[in-house]
A and B are shown apart, each in its own frame.
Chain A
Amino acid sequence: MAVQSDSGGKDDVKTQFVTREGTYRLMTLSEYSRPNRVGYTSGSGSTHVRVSLVTLPPGPGGGAPGSDGQGSDDRICFNHGKELYVYVYRGVKKAADLTKPVDKKMYKGTNPTCHDFNTVTMTSDSVSLVIGFSTGQIQLIDPIKKELSKLYNEERLIDKTRVTCIKWVPGSSNLFISAHASGQLYVYNEELTCGTTSPHYQLFKQGEGYSIHTCRTKSTRNPLYRWVIGSEGSCINEFAFSPCGTNLAVVSQDGFLRVFHYDTMELVGRARSYFGGFLCVCWAPDGRYVVVGGEDDLVTVWSLGERRVVARGQGHRSWVSVVAFDPYVAALAEPEREPGEATQCYRLGSVSQDTQLCLWDLTADVLRPPARARASAHLSPNGAPRGAGSPPAPAARPAPAPAAPPAPARVKDEGSGSLSAHFTQRLAGFSFGERRSEHRRNFSLARPAERRDCDPLRLIGTPACPRFDECPVLEPLVCKKVAHERLTALLFRAECLVTACADGCVNTWARPARAHATDTRRRDRERERDRLDLVD
């Protein structure tokens, strides 16, 4: 099928592309798919091919135990149609061996739609994998040990609709969350049963556009909580925890991004699409920004600190299916800048139904409110250089306040959950919103009791949904057709990036040769030498 030169494929599928860092190359031998691929698999219904990757801790013997002794601690899981595969993932180092899957599953009457590895409980020879299905059920397996197999919502008493996203609660060994097409999120404890009757709920907490319920039973059962989000029955398309686990971002078919403080269950902020549903969501590595993609073909950047849409990226020719930050390039985006400044740059990737991969640079000049004084630029107390190889560590607590106070954006850390109200007030009163109207809105958003309409006709022109010409429009750094089919997954790894498309192929792209890494290493060495000189 690939040979056919159809009119739609005027521009051929690219196997490499160049950015400032160098050339990214498709590793043709590192293609993962079902063991015996048939040419064309249409009509299989589900095209939600998702990819989960996990790096297992090294075994007691040092080498990788388990299946093959090939020395890779990475495992990859992906679903395609009725099937689900787990392989040893060899990245760019070695070719994929499709003959020996760690585990494979074939389901009847239902399709796996999403999955997630538990990184808290995993050991060198066991890992919990939770899987959501198109008919609402959830399964928990250990693809390595193969002893574990539990079902949740088996009788579909909790929810009958498709599981759209499933994830372990960060840092938890037993709690996971499933999102459904019905517009509801459920918190499960894998150790609890689901009961034999439909759950009776009682209201636990309510806010604008959402409500949270618990089960009314004598003994604790699943689900622990039910979150009803957005206008009635509008599908939750994805959710994501902030890197520190404090905040939960949820995107829905009703066109809203809603960010909650997970523990207090308060709505922290929200954004509205230009039009149509939001389909995907991702947090910046430092938790300051949330990026969403959707049916408006746009990539939308929302600032947590300022509670506003700061930029939109226009480059895709169809709906954006996945957005992801590349934490490994972020600090390198503009090497000339001082380290303190460089952290203001982000690299972002997106894939779409248009079969294209786009990379975007979010630079300081876009993210900074235009009228803001550049006082903060001079201040870079955190001299710690960020190496290429080490992703910015997710801050677990508020960063220590720098000596100079007038830099709230910097002080404001996404991890400062308990302090957020206080900080937000300060922020709102402080510097954001060069125009008075915006200022006022920011301020009002900080108050939880504030009642606001969900009507997009009223939201247009507000920080939650600026008019198109009121907001910077980014162009992609790279925009390449990389598949024949709709793209459905994108992951950034230290040495590669991983894409998947609707025909069930998972591809690995090698990052540019270590030019940059060595570059930074050299710079680091130079810096060290300078320091030594000073000591001398």
Chain B
Amino acid sequence: MSICQDLGLNFQQRMGANISQLERDIGSEQFPPNEHYFGLVNFGNTCYSNSVLQALYFCRPFREKVLEYKAKNKRTKETLLTCLADLFYSIATQKKKVGSIAPKKFIARLRKEKEEFDNYMQQDAHEFLNFLINHINEIILAERNQSTLKIQKTDGNKEGVTCNGTIPQNTEPTWVHEIFQGTLTSETRCLNCETVSSKDEHFFDLQVDVDQNTSITHCLKCFSDTETLCNDNKFKCDNCSSYQEAQKRMRVKKLPLILALHLKRFKYMEQYNRHIKVSHRVVFPLELRLFNTSDDAVNPDRLYDLVAVVVHCGSGPNRGHYISIVKSHGFWLLFDDDMVDKIDASAIEDFYGLTSDIQKSSETGYILFYQSRDASC
């Protein structure tokens, strides 16, 4: 069923032709120094991973932290993070400007780490991103814990042992937190006693519903629309000490450095008993501010720039293909597994989606990465 490209036999020739083309397109004077554009070889339906890795590589704060990790952590035991660091390092230190690389070790490790990815099926790029970010964060926390444990052990402090089972919650944020983590505040107003209670929760990305002929701005506003909790879904009001009808809305309280937006394009349809792709046209500007911030938000008018988009091509979650478009040094590149092409910024509109529902297959923006301008490095 999969139309995902396998590692083509003729890929060597194709690669050769495209590479010189890319360098020609960019021009030797324009080619940014210390930048490398390397495609990633597909090991059979691993485009979900390739597209996300390319997008992350071009999220500069993330790339820098991963390379920093690589520099600091010599000879540790292999984790998904060390594999990722090796991969990024290998791209960043290539002699050639362009080419392709096989993320063999990373994929092998990924398959060991998580059963769901241990096959040759197409996976959901967002699930992969979610897993990767969380997993990396856990690795950093665990390593940090271990080192504090060591220190504590040398101090002869027994308390450290009791901490072992439960990760201390008051730890400093990791660099993954610093880059991707934002805070949502959910405000609930009990319709009986009118008391407003609010609760904060952290996120690494926001998952938004898509509507036909809208903008990502509108989808984000809908995300923060007031919802009424009633019937089976009543709210347990502490003040009333009972379940009550309530109004709830979620707004962004802390805006992350990199705002990852997941467009929920795979919708479960009961009549088909499977997920169907929603190809609605959702435009996304190159620059973004949020309208759905809470009143006590720290930096509500943070200005974001679009830096990368993971694009899904095809008709369903378990079929089709993933590619990514990224912005690097002022121009846009399209990464399609091992192939890299320079594209015009105006070509981005090809990935907004379709205004007609007749065609089921489409090439649509699926995960958007917006980077705060004040983070530019």
Contact = CB atoms under 8 A, between A and B. Distances in A.
A432 interface: no
B243 to A, nearest CB: 31
A276 B285 contact: yes
Given A275-B289, A296-B285, A354 B358 contact: no
Contacts of B301: 460-461, 467-468
Nearest to B306: A276
Contacts, number: 90
B286 A276 contact: yes
A316 B215 CA distance: 9
A152 interface: no
Interface in B320-365: 346, 354-359
B64 interface: no
A461 B301 CA distance: 10
Contacts of B288: 275-276
B280 interface: yes
A8 B357 contact: yes
B32 to A, nearest CB: 16
Contacts of A457: 303, 373-374
A403 B309 CA distance: 61
A277 interface: yes
B20 interface: no
B213 A353 contact: yes
B192 to A, nearest CB: 30
Given A275-B285, A460-B303, A317 B214 contact: yes
Max count, chain A CB within 10 A of own CB: residue among B287, B354, B357? B287
Contacts of A181: 346
B288 to A, nearest CB: 5
B211 interface: yes
A474 to B, nearest CB: 15
A222 B289 CA distance: 41
Interface string B273-305: 000001011010111110100000000110110
B286 to A, nearest CB: 7
B189 interface: no
A276 B305 CA distance: 9
Interface in A361-375: none
Interface in A288-309: 295-297
A461 B374 CA distance: 16
B interface, size bucket:
20 to 34
A1 B356 contact: yes
Nearest to A277: B285
A219 interface: no
A134 B375 CA distance: 37
Given A275-B303, A468-B291, A6 B357 contact: yes
A276 B213 contact: no
A353 B283 contact: yes
Max count, chain A CB within 10 A of own CB: residue among B213, B215, B278, B287? B213
A7 B211 CA distance: 9
A485 interface: yes
Nearest to B372: A457
Contacts of B358: 1, 4, 40
Contacts of A502: 355
Interface of A: 1, 4, 6-9, 40, 42, 181, 255, 274-277, 295-297, 314, 317-319, 353-355, 456-457, 460-461, 467-468, 484-486, 502
Interface of B: 211-215, 217-218, 278, 280-281, 283, 285-289, 291, 300-301, 303-304, 346, 354-359, 373-374
Given A276-B287, A277-B287, A353-B281, 9 more contacts: A1-B358, A8-B212, A181-B346, A275-B304, A318-B213, A456-B287, A457-B374, A460-B303, A468-B301
